[in-house]
Amino acid sequence: MALAEVPEFNDIPVEYSEHNEEFHSDGFNIKMKPNKTHLQWKHHEECWSTYFSGVKPEIRKPEKPNSAFKKAIMLVVVVEKLKGKRGIGKQSFFDDDDLLNHILIEEDITCNKIEVQDTNNARFRYNKTTVHIIRDQRQKCLALHEFEENAHLIALFLQGQNIEREAKINLDSFFTTDLKKRPVTLGIAGCQLYLCCTAEEGTDDPVLCLKEVADIKEKQNEDLLTFMFYKKLGSNKHNSFESAAFPGYYISTSQQENQQVQLKSGNNQVFLQDFIVNPNN
């Protein structure tokens, strides 16, 4: 039996869809010219045409690999092949960094240094004001003494009607970042005089004096520091007042009566530095 002539695949008409990246056959029918010398071609043509009418070949167009990725694959293949070769020194061989340099691109990163400053950089923050009666550990009272526009506190014993001379103290408490310390300012109730620590020429120790302040809450940082004291509670339930501007120096009273309240070193064993603080009811 003679064989039929089959056309080449390139002679088969197809449609290309660029959007779907596919080749589609449009249900084509293949017509073949029978060999006139063979009388049985018509039968073969009908069978062949019936077979191809139900077949729709689909050929997908391959995607082109990314050029960088393709180079990376080629380099990996070369590296793997070279690993099996003998006579190649480690010093002449390239490492992973050489491979990545062909794939990754280094870019300079600019870092801008931003300095953030806190607008509220106050060292102390006002809390509240309470009025107290303060006496030294021997129960001597504090009284305001004024002479020729020079005001200071003195410690003395007061009884009976003289007790009205005892000064009432405005104790202004403040917040600070150091939770172990209790910063306060001490002012004379009824006036604008506050205890202040200053350094004077010709003296070894700082001096305690009274200065007039319109509003203590308006002072901040260094301006407030000279008026600030750290209130400390001792084991004997008495309080001491350490100068914030001059650490190690405390408000002190003399053993004798009618003496000015001063600022003395904590090592001083003569002056009294413990006080009894009671709220003024």
Beta carbons within 10 angstroms of residue 36's beta carbon: 7
Q: Report d(CA 165, CA 82) in Å as an integer.
A: 103
- Domains of the chain with CATH codes: 9-60 (no CATH), 67-100 (no CATH), 125-279 (2.80.10.50)
User: Could you say which DSSP state residue 212 is in?
Assistant: E
Q: What is the CA radius of gyration of the chain?
A: 51
User: Could you say which DSSP state residue 87 is in?
Assistant: S
Q: Which of 130, 131, 133, 129 is nearest to 276 (CA)?
A: 133
Residue that is written with structure tokens 């004001």 in the block? 129
State pLDDT tens for residues 61-118.
Answer: 555 556 777 778 887 777 777 666 555 555 555 555 555 555 555 556 665 554 444 4
Highest mean pLDDT out of 7-21, 58-72, 173-187: 173-187
pTM: 0.58
Exposed (0-12), middle (13-18) or buried (19+): which is 224, by Cβ within 10 Å?
buried
* Alpha-carbon torsion, ordered 25, 27, 33, 39, to 10 deg: 130
Q: Which of 154, 151, 152 is nearest to 136 (CA)?
A: 154
State pLDDT tens for residues 223-235.
Answer: 999 999 999 999 8
